Amino acid sequence: MTEEGKQAVAKARAILENYKGKKLRIMEVCGTHTHAIFKAGLRQLMPENVELISGPGCPVCVTPADFIDEAVWLATEKNAVITTFGDLVRVPGSEMSLAGARSEGADIVPVYTPIDAVEYAKTHPDREVVFLSVGFETTTPSACLAVQRAEKAGLKNFSILTANKTMDEAYRALKDSVDAYIYPGHVCAIVGTRLTEELTGEGISGVVAGFTPSELVTAAATLVELCSKSDEPFFRNCYPRVVTRDGSTAAKKLVEKYMEPADAVWRGLGIIPKSGMVLRDEYAAFDARKKFSVPSFKAKNPPGCRCGEILQGKCKPTDCPLFGKTCTPEHPVGACMVSQEGTCAAYYQYGGVV
């Protein structure tokens, strides 16, 4: 780190150590930040009257159990090969997880990227291959790229089951529960900062943060300082080496071509209008829901699991009576313990720090 960088971190630490102002609730929205914050020891650095809460930014955690039921249905009733990121395999559905379906003979193939799923479809032309497309602005472009590749290759046996989401409506939905957000740097790198800047007009404050300890401590101090100075909503980009006002034009164009906004169900938050992304009608042949006329499911969440409240920042994992007892990363009861980005998994991994 440069001398200048060291001085900036020392100044940020001093701001946090000396803060004696009003009580603040700050939400780090994304799961990657939740883990990075634990790792950096930032929770221990925060002043007593500043509460850091975790938000709904883990893609696996906010994906409702209905989606797992849809995927299990495709695997068991339509004999489709389900290609998916590994984390989703263990998320409980209402009857079973995808791991459970696999133990009953379903073909569930973990992949690292949606392009891997296209390649799998190319080499298995006699099978229908469905990719489970979850995630936020960071992963949606790669799902669109997969559809583009499949389209160009003339594949008829590849489709995606979408549960893609956008963050801006979630910021709005939770705005009354928090004083300010730590916005996810990687999401802002794609969409740019215009949206989050505009949110100040709706009374929503926040700073964009990177993921290193020094970036996080600087962003937290900026946020605390701005909150204490005035009640006016604010926005700051504390990750300018990566995040620009316009974001990635190429990624946004690609998504715009293949997908459009739609209402989406978030675990714990219910339906948030226009917070999801689905394939446009022109690409219905690649939309598993339309291609296979997937029925709608209304899954129940596991009894006792408080994932929904945790995703809204209403309680902490350690408030859940199942935490660390019947629910562990080895035997997860709810989605927040399954995913590597999940809040419950982070609290478990880093010792249940409150």
When binding is defined by CB under 6 A, the residue of 68, 80, 217, 337 that contacts ligand SF4 is: 337
Q: Say which DSSP state 327 is in.
A: B
CB-CB neighbours of 294 under 10 Å? 19
Q: How far is the CB of 307 from ligand SF4 (least distance, A)?
A: 4
Q: Give, rounded to a whole angstrom, the gap between the first and last alpha carbons of the chain.
A: 30
Count, residues near ligand SF4 per rule CB under 6 A? 14
**Cα–Cα dist 87/109, whole Å:** 12
CB of 48 or CB of 330, closer to ligand SF4: 330
Contact (CB, 8 A) for 343 and 336: yes
207's CB contacts (< 8 A; 6+ apart) are: 180, 181, 182, 183, 219, 222, 223, 226, 235, 236, 237, 238
CB of 31 or CB of 317, closer to ligand SF4: 317
Selected range binding ligand SF4 among 7-15, 36-44, 191-199, 328-336, rule: CB under 6 A:
328-336
Helix (H) or strand (E) holding 40: helix 31-40
- Residue 323 interacting with ligand SF4 (CB under 6 A): yes
- Residue 344 interacting with ligand SF4 (CB under 6 A): yes
Q: How far is the CB of 343 from ligand SF4 (least distance, A)?
A: 7
CB-CB neighbours of 10 under 10 Å? 11
Q: Of residues 97-116, which lie at the interface with ligand SF4 (CB under 6 A)?
A: none
- Residue 327 interacting with ligand SF4 (CB under 6 A): yes
CB of 81 or CB of 333, closer to ligand SF4: 333
Closest residue to ligand SF4, based on beta-carbon distance: 334
Q: How far is the CB of 149 from ligand SF4 (least distance, A)?
A: 35
- Residue 336 interacting with ligand SF4 (CB under 6 A): yes
Selected range binding ligand SF4 among 73-81, 156-164, 178-186, 300-308, rule: CB under 6 A:
300-308
Q: What are the DSSP calls for 197-260, one per residue? A: HHGGGGT--EEEE-SSHHHHHHHHHHHHHHHHH-SS--EEES-TTT--SS--HHHHHHHHHHEE
CB-CB neighbours of 181 under 10 Å? 28
- Residue 334 interacting with ligand SF4 (CB under 6 A): yes
Q: Of residues 302-321, which lie at the interface with ligand SF4 (CB under 6 A)?
A: 305-307, 310, 317, 320
CA 321 from centre of chain: 24
Q: How far is the CB of 346 from ligand SF4 (least distance, A)?
A: 11
Q: How far is the CB of 322 from ligand SF4 (least distance, A)?
A: 4
Selected range binding ligand SF4 among 74-82, 148-156, 260-268, 299-307, rule: CB under 6 A:
299-307
Selected range binding ligand SF4 among 34-42, 194-202, 286-294, 332-340, rule: CB under 6 A:
332-340
Q: Of residues 108-167, which lie at the interface with ligand SF4 (CB under 6 A)?
A: none
Give the three-class secondary structure for 304: coil
**Cα–Cα dist 140/131, whole Å:** 12
- Residue 322 interacting with ligand SF4 (CB under 6 A): yes
CB of 221 or CB of 333, closer to ligand SF4: 333
Give the three-class secondary structure for 316: coil
**Cα–Cα dist 71/338, whole Å:** 17
Contact (CB, 8 A) for 301 and 65: yes
CB of 174 or CB of 307, closer to ligand SF4: 307
Give the three-class secondary structure for 14: helix
Q: Note the residues at the interface with ligand SF4 (CB under 6 A).
A: 305-307, 310, 317, 320, 322-323, 327, 333-334, 336-337, 344
